[in-house]
């Protein structure tokens, strides 16, 4: 670390990365299930849905001036662990302190009425079934994610977060890093969107398959009342 005549220090990117790696290796001995966020280059999100996650957060005035502070933390490998479970994100982020900070983000589930509307719209997009079965999201579904107040992406009033760092800012750099890092994790595991918003992914598959079957039978001048159960959908798509 270099210090100027006023005593203020500057830590190089290489030093930050080395420090983060050392902390990660120490923590991993106690918790082998840690899942660090590792990105190549400066691009944190590569899929349209990962990019849209970040763009959605930036679109809110409450976050627009703060969220950007977290990007360097992600690209420098300082998000040592990030776990997504039902309605929450738990992470460990390296910072300026001697020990990393613990960050928790709690996100409310999708409103039941909104979820019903989402599954109905998705069910009519027959071409989406194959990609959905592969755990990928067609670009045509973007509106279902990003529509403010009615989509899968949460709004600020649906998000609560905390960090163990001494920074009392509304959104500290470590929380901002976790929100950015979540985009990278969702790039890799998009179905975690549904876990995070506490909704069942198989609902989309069932609705899509049922719609397709109904259309096929209608074209054959037949009608059906067949409904696909959760077990059937999971077995059909290997979920």
**Which residues are registered as beta bridge partners of 104?**
90, 162
Domain extent listing, the chain: 12-110+154-199, 121-151+200-239
**C-beta separation of 37 from 185 below 8 A:** yes
pLDDT tens-digit map of 188-221: 998 898 899 998 877 777 766 665 655 556 655 5
What is the per-residue pLDDT for 143?
75
Q: Can you tell me the distance from the alpha carbon of 67 to that of 202, in angstroms, rounded to the nearest whole number?
A: 32
How far is Cα of residue 190 from the mean position of the Cα atoms in its chain?
Answer: 7
Q: Collapsing DSSP states into helix, strand and coil, what is residue 148? A: coil
Confidence of residue 133 (pLDDT cuts 50, 70, 90): low
User: How far apart, in whole angstroms, are the C-alpha atoms of residue 159 and residue 138?
Assistant: 26
Q: C-alpha dihedral over 146, 36, 195, 150, to 10 degrees?
A: -10
Give 117's pLDDT tier (boundaries 50, 70, 90): confident
pLDDT digits (tens, 9 = 90+) for 37-87: 999 888 899 988 899 998 888 888 778 878 888 899 999 999 999 999 999
């Amino acid at each position: 670390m270099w210090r100027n005549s006023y005593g203020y220090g500057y830590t190089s990117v290489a030093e930050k990365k080395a420090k983060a790696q050392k902390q990660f290796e120490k923590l991993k001995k106690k918790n082998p299930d840690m899942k660090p966020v590792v990105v190549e280059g400066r691009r944190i999100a590569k899929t349209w849905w990962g990019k849209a996650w970040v763009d959605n957060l930036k679109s809110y005035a409450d976050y627009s001036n703060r969220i950007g502070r977290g990007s360097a933390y992600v690209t420098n490998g300082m998000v040592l662990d990030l776990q997504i479970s039902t309605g929450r994100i738990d992470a460990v982020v390296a910072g300026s302190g001697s020990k990393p900070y613990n960050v928790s983000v709690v996100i409310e589930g999708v409103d039941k009425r909104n979820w019903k509307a989402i599954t109905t719209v998705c069910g009519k997009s027959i071409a989406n079934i194959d990609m959905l079965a592969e755990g990928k999201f067609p670009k045509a579904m973007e509106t279902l994610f990003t529509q403010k107040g009615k989509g899968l992406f949460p709004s600020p009033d649906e998000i609560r977060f905390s960090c163990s760092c001494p920074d009392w800012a509304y959104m500290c750099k470590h929380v901002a890093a976790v929100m950015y890092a979540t985009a990278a994790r969702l790039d890799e595991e998009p179905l975690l969107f549904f876990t995070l918003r506490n909704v069942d992914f198989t609902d989309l598959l069932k609705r899509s398959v049922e719609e397709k079957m109904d259309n096929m039978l209608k074209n054959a001048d037949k009608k059906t009342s067949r409904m696909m159960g959760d077990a059937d959908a999971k077995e059909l798509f290997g979920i």
